[in-house]
Structure 1
Amino acid sequence: MFADYILLLFAPTPRRAKGIFNVLRGRRTVSTLFAGLTYGCLDQLDSWHGVPLETFLATTTKLVTAGDLTSPEAGYYQLTAQGMVHQRALKKERYQPVASVTFQTVAVRRFAALSQLALQVVSEAAHHENRYYPVTTDPGVQATVKAWFRRYRGPELAPTIFAALKAFLTTLPDELARIFVQSLTGYQFPGQTDAQLAAQFNREPVELLVIRRDLTCRWIVWLQHHPQDPLWALLAPLVKASPVSDSAQQTLQEFLRGGDLAAIAQRRKLKLSTVREHLLEVAILTPEFPFDQLLSPALITQLTTVFADQPDLTSWRFDQVQRVAPQLDFFYFRLFQIMRCQHD
C-alpha cells in the first residue's frame, strides 16, 4: 500500500507533511532540501514525482485514523506508539529502495521510457520482426531510440545488449532479476504489469512500482560503470555531474575563489539572498562544503552553547539565537544547522 511507504517517512518527533511531499515531488527550494536533509529522506528527492498533494494528504489522514500517526499541530505529524511498532514491521516486510539517490542527478523516468523501447526494438530486430506495437507512443522517445538504433544497429547489437543485461542481472537477488526481466517487452513477449507481477511474487502492486523504479536506478548505476555499453549513449545525455543546480555551482566557484558574497551578488546581478540560498543548496547537497569559510570557530562555539540541551536540531528556533546574537543573519543559523546534520 502507498500508505506503508508514507508511514516510513515519519518519526516519533513532528515532521511537516508538506515538506516531505515536496521532497518526494522533487522541488528544489532550499526549504525543501533542508526538510529532506533533516528528515533523512533527501535520498528520495523526486522519487514520487507524480503523486498529487491531495493523495498524499489524504494518506496521512488515513494513517491518523488508523492510529499510526498523530498531529500535534496543523500540518505536522508524528508516529504514535502503535505507528512505531508498525513502522518497524514495515521496514522488514516492504521492499526498501537502495538506489533512489540516482534521481538527484539522472532523469530516471526518461531513461526508463527510452530503455524499455530500445530493448523492445533490439529484441524485435533480432527476430527480423518489423510489425509490432511499441511500448510507448511518445514521439520524442521514439525519435531518440530510432536515432540510437540507426547508429548501433548491426549483427553484434543484440548479443552485446543480451550480454550486458545478463551481467547486470547477476548483481541482483534472484527475485529482483526475475521481476526486471518479466517487466520487459520484447519479441512475442508483452511485459507484465505491476498488478501481474504483484500477484506472481506475492507483493502489493505499489511495492512492485517501488521495486521496478529502484531496479531502473540500479541499472543506471551499473551502466555508469560500463560506459562502453550501447545503452550508455541513451543514458549519458540524462546524467548531471552534480545534484547542485548550475547557477548554484557558479556561485560556489566564485566563492571558492575568495569572492565576497555581496560582490558575487553584484557581479552576477543577483540578490544577496539568492547568493546565500545558492550556498545553502550546495551545503545541503555536498557534505564536503567548506563550512569553516563562513562559520568562524567563535560562532560555532556560541551556537553550540545555545543548543547544547537540544539534540534534535529540527526543534531549534532562530529566535533562540537572536536573544544572544541579535545581529546574526538567519543564513548563518541555517548553515550551522546544515553543518551539524552533515557531520554529527
Structure 2
Amino acid sequence: MIPEDVLAFFDLKQGRRPKAILNVLVGKMTVSALFWGLEYDILEYLNFWKTIDTTSFLENVDRAVEGGFLAKKDELIYLTEAGQQKQFSCTTPTPFIKKVRLDEAINLLLLANQVISEFSFKNNRYIPVSDNLRINVILKNWFKQLKSRNHHTTDIVQKYTQGLDELLSQLQQHDADILLSYLPNHVDPGWTIDQLAQAFGISKFQMELKIRLIFSKIISDAVLTKTAPFVDLLNSTIKENVMPDSTYQTWQLIQQGKTVDEVARLKHVKTNTVKEHILMAAILDSNFPFDKFVRFNFEIGKHPTEVDFRSIQSQIADITFFDFRLIQIRKIKEQQNNNGNR
C-alpha cells in the first residue's frame, strides 16, 4: 500500500477519523461505527472490504500526512489540495450491495466463469479456483439446475454468455476489460491483481478497490434486473436486511407495536440494547419514522456532530442520549437528502 491509496476515503472540507472509516469498510455493526459512517456519507462501503489491511491503511494515513496529502487537525484528518490532485478517482458502491455478502458473491462469479468455460471445452479435469465448501456446493446446485433447463452444451454456454454480455454492456469499456482479464477460464487462470495493476498503471490497492467496485456493479445489476442465469447463482448471497439479525428482529417487533420494555422482556436483553437497535434502524432504514420516536424538537444547527450533548442537556433536563442521537441522525439524513454530500 502507498500513501496515495488512502486518499479516496477523505474529504477537503470534512475532517474524518481513519479508524471510523475502517470500521465501515470491515462491517463493524455498532451504533458508533454506523453513526460515523452516516456522518461521513460512506455507508455504501459498509462491509465492503472485510480483508482490508487495517494496519497498513493507518500507517499510510500517517505517511500521507507527512507527505502533505492529508492534514491533521484536532485528531481529524482532512484531504489537502495536494492530496486532491493525487486522489484515486473511482465510483462508490451501489446502495444495494450492502445487502450482499460481497466476497462470497465474487468467489461464486469467479468459479462460475471457470466451470462454464471448462464445460464448453468438455474438460472435467481442472483445479477449481475456490476450495470453499459452501461456495462449491452453491455452484454445484446452480450448475445442476442450469443443465436441467438447458439440455445441450451449446444452450448452457450461450445462456451464460448472453447474460454476461448484458452485464458487461452496463460497464465502461475500461472496467469491462479489467473484469474479463480477471475472470478465470479454460485458456488461462485470469490475471492476478498485481498483473492488472501493472498493466493499468495503478497500485495494487487501487486495482483491488476498482475490481470490488466493478463486481458490486454487476452483482447489483444481475440481481435487480434478474439477469439469467446469474440471478439464481447470486440469490444465496443476499441478506434479508442490511441490519444484523438481532437488530432486525427488534425493529420488526417495534414496528408491530411493541414498546421498548416489551421487546426487552421478549428478547431477554436490556432496554438500552433495544434503544441501540432502534438507533441502528434509524441509520440504516431509509424509511425510518422519526416522528414516532423523536420526543423533542429543537434546532441542532448545520453541523449536528459538533453539538455537545451536555450543552443540550443543560437546556432540556429530561433529554436522554438516545433522544439526542436520534435528532442528530435525522438532521444528517435531512442534509444529505437535500444537499447531497455535505
Normalising by structure 2, report the TM-score: 0.89
- The aligned counterpart of 1:4 is 4
Structure 2 segments unaligned to the other structure (5+ residues):
336-342
Residue 336 of structure 1 aligns to which amino acid in structure 2? Answer: I
Matched, 1:333 2:327: no
2-structure distance, mates of 1:282, 1:5: 32
- The aligned counterpart of 1:324 is 315
Give the secondary-structure state (helix, strand or coil) at the position aligned to 1:332.
helix
* TM superposition shift of 1:212: 1.1
Deviations 1:176-198 (A, max 9, x none): 11111111111112211122222
Residue 303 of structure 2 aligns to which amino acid in structure 1? Answer: D
* TM superposition shift of 1:231: 2.6
Give the secondary-structure state (helix, strand or coil) at the position aligned to 1:300.
coil
2-structure distance, mates of 1:328, 1:45: 30
Deviations 1:93-151 (A, max 9, x none): x2413325444210111111111111111111111112223222333323332232233
* TM superposition shift of 1:228: 5.7
Residue 191 of structure 2 aligns to which amino acid in structure 1? Answer: Q
Deviations 1:50-91 (A, max 9, x none): 124322221221112112333334xx2322xxx421343345
Report the RMSD for the aligned CA atoms in angstroms.
Answer: 2.0
Equivalent positions of 1:1-344 (< 5 A) are 3-11=3-11, 12-73=13-74, 76-79=75-78, 83-90=79-86, 94-153=88-147, 154-155=151-152, 156-227=155-226, 229-296=228-295, 299-301=296-298, 304=299, 307-308=300-301, 311-344=302-335
* TM superposition shift of 1:314: 2.1
Q: How many residues align?
A: 329
Where do 4+ consecutive residues of structure 1 move more than 6 Å?
A: none
- 1:208/1:58 CA distance change after superposition, 3 Å: same
Deviations 1:222-251 (A, max 9, x none): 211343612322211110232122322232
Give the secondary-structure state (helix, strand or coil) at the position aligned to 2:327.
helix
2-structure distance, mates of 1:103, 1:39: 18
Structure 1 segments unaligned to the other structure (5+ residues):
none
Residue 60 of structure 1 aligns to which amino acid in structure 2? Answer: V
Give the secondary-structure state (helix, strand or coil) at the position aligned to 2:226.
coil
Give the secondary-structure state (helix, strand or coil) at the position aligned to 1:71.
strand
Normalising by structure 1, report the TM-score: 0.88
Q: Answer yes or no: is the 8 Å Cα contact 1:10–1:77 preserved in 2.
A: no
Q: Answer yes or no: is the 8 Å Cα contact 1:24–1:47 preserved in 2.
A: yes
Residue 253 of structure 2 aligns to which amino acid in structure 1? Answer: E
Residue 161 of structure 1 aligns to which amino acid in structure 2? Answer: Y
* TM superposition shift of 1:220: 0.8
